[in-house]
Structure 1
Amino acid sequence: MAKSQSKTTVLLAILGAWAFILRLIELPIFPPAQFLKFDFSDLVVLVGMLVKGPVGLLAVAFIRDFLHYLFFGGEAGIPIGMMMSMAASLALFIPSHFFLSKGKSLAPKMRYLLMGVVSTLTLTVVMLLFNYFIAVPLYTKVLHFPIDNIRDYLLLILVPFNLLKGLINSVGQVFVIKVFYPQLFKRNVLYEEYIQASL
């Protein structure tokens, strides 16, 4: 048991380091807002969830974002980016956890479809609320970032960006689960609640 736990811990640490590296490769995916970037690190965070469920999800996301904060800091020393990144990862994949653990009776295609739709909508709503109540007030009142029309920024920039981000991650999620699920199962490091979920 101790050996298995140690193997899982080491694997999560390695995944966190890989997620940190992938977070450095940022891509502009939404032309109206080039400053909003996308990266593929969330898919590595998803592998962490396949290994240890929500705990693995949180662990890999924390390692990724804490390393990013250590190396690059935050806006005026405030870890806004770290908090937003972790919130986005949790919003994306907590729904997937429930579909993998509780939705085993669903046909695979239906499960993937529902996972994608619910994850994308959850991400969009969570990030909208996070920005409205936390990030935007900090940016505008504390850091004095110029946001002329907050409502337009949230509804015309942030919402479409997160819908697109959720869509890309939903497609990637199918690939990651199909590739890594059997490999993790074979190596006896697949989270027990996901075993026997049809792919």
Structure 2
Amino acid sequence: MSVFSHPDSISPNQVSGSHSTGAADRGRWSTQRIAMYALFVALAMAVSFIEIPLMPAAPWLKYDPSGIVCILAGFAFGPSGAVIVSVLGFVPHLFVNPLGAVMAILVALGYSLPVAFIYRRRSTRTGALTGILLGAAVALAAAIVGNLFITPLYAHMSMQQVASMIVPILLPFNLLKFAINGVVSFLCYRPVCKLIAR
């Protein structure tokens, strides 16, 4: 959601230009940009409370669309936007489930930052797709590591019990979750970028 050097790329600061997504990071902090960050953070907070079970075999694992908002912030505003939205969007959960919120933040950063960095350098559909695929891989690794080391601290389970769930439950759930986030983000990033540019 910064400048597009190809037909796919448009910047929030310039409707036509040849900058990359990182242009938003290099610009001055205007009132308008702070307002846009606040809007994305508020949206991420709101949708983080939407919980949809994806696997009948594991009803306690629930999907929420907040990752999509974090990824779109990375497209729109570069790494700074990805960090701000991925961290502040989960602040309410820190008061209810601090360890779970920390894990959610790590996963959101793992997905949105690769997207932001890659798309900043290559603001094309190929760059967007590459960022989404790499982000999904990093986020998957973060989710598995987080489950192994953080989940036992609050879920009254041993690391061995969690490890036994990785292949049959955690891996398919996270793959499905990141696939949904990636597909929706890829379909939405250009319209959102153009909307912000206006």
What's the % identity of the aligned pairs?
24
Amino acid across the alignment from 2:37: L
Structure 1: unaligned runs, 5 residues or longer = 187-199
| Equivalent position to 1:33, from 45, 48, 58 | 58
After the TM superposition, which parts of structure 1 deviate over 6 Å for at least 4 consecutive aligned residues? none
The answer (yes or no) to whether the contact 2:83–2:113 under 8 Å persists in 1 is no
Taking structure 2 as the reference length, the TM-score comes to 0.76
Equivalent residue runs for 1:31-110 within 5 Å: 31-70=56-95, 73-74=96-97, 79-104=98-123, 108=125, 110=126
Measured against aligned partners, the alpha-carbon deviations of 1:110-146 in whole angstroms (never above 9, x if no partner) come to: 444433332222211111112223x13313xxx5347
1:22 paired residue number: 47
Distance 1:159 1:52 in 2: 30
The answer (yes or no) to whether the contact 2:73–2:85 under 8 Å persists in 1 is yes
Q: CA deviation at 1:148?
A: 7.0
Q: CA deviation at 1:12?
A: 1.0
Distance 1:68 1:166 in 2: 20
Structure 2: unaligned runs, 5 residues or longer = 1-26
Equivalent residue runs for 1:152-167 within 5 Å: 152-167=164-179
1:137 paired residue number: 152
1:170 counterpart = 2:189:
no
1:119 paired residue number: 135
168-177 vs 92-101, which moves further: 92-101
Distance 1:63 1:149 in 2: 31
Q: CA deviation at 1:28?
A: 0.8
Amino acid across the alignment from 1:155: V
SS in 2 for 1:144: coil
Q: CA deviation at 1:52?
A: 2.8
Q: CA deviation at 1:53?
A: 1.5
The answer (yes or no) to whether the contact 2:44–2:70 under 8 Å persists in 1 is yes
Structure ranking higher in helix proportion: 1
The answer (yes or no) to whether the contact 1:120–1:170 under 8 Å persists in 2 is yes
Q: CA deviation at 1:46?
A: 2.5
SS in 2 for 1:31: coil
The answer (yes or no) to whether the contact 1:46–1:93 under 8 Å persists in 2 is yes
